[in-house]
Amino acid sequence: MTSRPTLTTESGAPVADNQNSQSAGPGGPLLIQDQQLIEKLARFNRERIPERVVHARGAGAYGYLEVTDDVTSFTHAAFLAEVGRRTEVFLRFSTVADSLGGADAVRDPRGFAVKFYTEEGNYDLVGNNTPVFFIKDPLKFPDFIHSQKRDPFTGVQEPDNVWDFWSRSPEATHQVTWLMGDRGIPASYRHMHGFGSHTYQWVNAEGRAHWVKYHFKSDQGIRCLTSEEAAELAGRDGDSHQQDLHRAIERGLFPSWTLYVQLMPVEDAAGYRFNPFDLTKVWPHADYPLQRVGRLVLDRNPDNIFAEVEQSAFSPNNFVPGIGPSPDKMLQGRLFAYGDAHRYRLGVNHTQLPVNAPHATTAVNNGRDGAMRFDGNGGRAKNYEPDGFGGPVQTGRPLAAGIEVAGATGNHAPVLHRDDDHFSQAGALFRLMGPAEQARLVANIAGGLSRVSDDAIVDRMVAHFRAADPAYGHAVEVAVKELRA
């Protein structure tokens, strides 16, 4: 007979009795000394975490992206560098408006979020099953979601709220037409397309940039439900889409999507007939045809839904070299909002969770501490940069190009004015001081600097003071030498 593991407490001690609480006599009150009871109840009270404000209801699976076509003339992203290369992915599907306990078969956009575990770090592509969205400015997003969520007085989703907001937001008409059309209720997650929706930037090894839109075309084909079919299915099986995805993968029917991109030369953007960074619009394929990139396959279910689906965290700000953002206003807002949502829900160390951690690289940064830090916390390494003790350094190579488009900017060196330097005003302040005040200043500096063990650090600081005023630097140098002696 196979031996079974021993049930233990959180601290690893064996549990003697998990069926009966300790009491003061056969009929007496329970005892606070019962560690198993107290710990078990206390943990149970804390097992839920805040659900996502949007996209709360979801399912996910692991798989891979295999490159089928050469796109190196458009991007130098390593995971797209050669035909045949495979990159592990995690894909989370979701509904948008409903809560974690909602039904799958409802008329709602579907989230289509892909995490690529590349050799250069994680790349997150956060999209939907529609190529457009209801609004184009992130300032309107909280109001939009409030209008779609449960009313604060009635506690249900109110048609008045939903349609009132849409009626006052004419830019929503395109997405409403998608949502209310035949594709508004996918029959399953396997039978719908996915889109990056936003406009992104690809840059090749020579620095040439293109604006890019992502299209994931379902290899299973499109299948959708009528409103009547969806109502019947949602009432019969609220978990229909999650179950369909899980069972298909378990049976070896691995769902797949063909990845295409649309590519727009950056110089086309300014003169294009509409704003190419407007999330409420598509680029007609006649203008920018689809170009095939690869095939995305899902072939492994998560072992634990909470650990791997509920705790999965995607941020469109997670780029890799060769891919970057665009001036798309909604994207710009989401670059902040997604990561901030995860820091609230999961904590500042959520990127260390296995589903979120990079696979082929190790995150090396100066972040330390925070709740639930469960690695070595950086050990003895310094946690600042620049440093002189062998810590991580910047590459100096932007992930993507800094491009001027209709006033949008990338990285720019500051415009220098005549007296923009680091030292002249410090020197002027030194010269304003009387001799006694200068002496105290020098003594205070020397008192700290003389205790520094690295001569190179002392030399650099003396050089700064000398650049401010020669007498200032000389006085500090002499004072430090005297104290060291």
Choose among 67, 54, 452, 60: nearest CA to 292: 67
Choose among 78, 87, 91, 77: nearest CA to 117: 87
| Among 55, 193, 241, 342, the one annotated catalytic | 55
Q: For tokens 């406009």, what's the residue?
A: 199
Is 55 annotated as catalytic?
Answer: yes
Whether omega for the bond prior to residue 386 falls within 30 degrees of 0, making it cis, is: yes
Six-digit token string for 228: 């009547």
User: What DSSP string runs through 233-260?
Assistant: HHHH-TTHHHHHHHHHHHTT---EEEEE
DSSP state of 374: -
**All residues at 6 or more sequence positions from 287 whose CB lies less than 8 Å from its CB, including other chains:** none
Is 383 annotated as catalytic?
Answer: no
**All residues at 6 or more sequence positions from 418 whose CB lies less than 8 Å from its CB, including other chains:** none
Angle at 123 between CA 259 and CA 293, to 5 degrees: 20
| Among 122, 128, 129, 356, the one annotated catalytic | 128
Choose among 321, 336, 315: nearest CA to 398: 321
**H helix runs in 168-239, sequence order:** 173-180, 227-236
Choose among 203, 400, 171: nearest CA to 278: 171
Choose among 224, 233, 226, 200: nearest CA to 214: 200
**H helix runs in 346-386, sequence order:** none
Is residue 8 within 8 A of residue 14, CB to CB? The reply is yes
Query: Is 272 annotated as belonging to a binding site?
Result: no
Q: How many helices (H) and strands (E) does the chain have?
A: 12, 10
Measured CA to CA, the distance from residue 311 to residue 357 in angstroms comes to: 12
Count the Cβ atoms, other than its own, within 10 Å of residue 455. 9
User: What DSSP string runs through 1-45?
Assistant: ----PPPB-TTSPBPS-SSS--BSSTTSPBPTT-HHHHHHHHHHH
Choose among 473, 366, 384, 393: nearest CA to 430: 473
Enumerate the active-site residues: 55, 128
The binding site for heme consists of 338
The binding site consists of 338
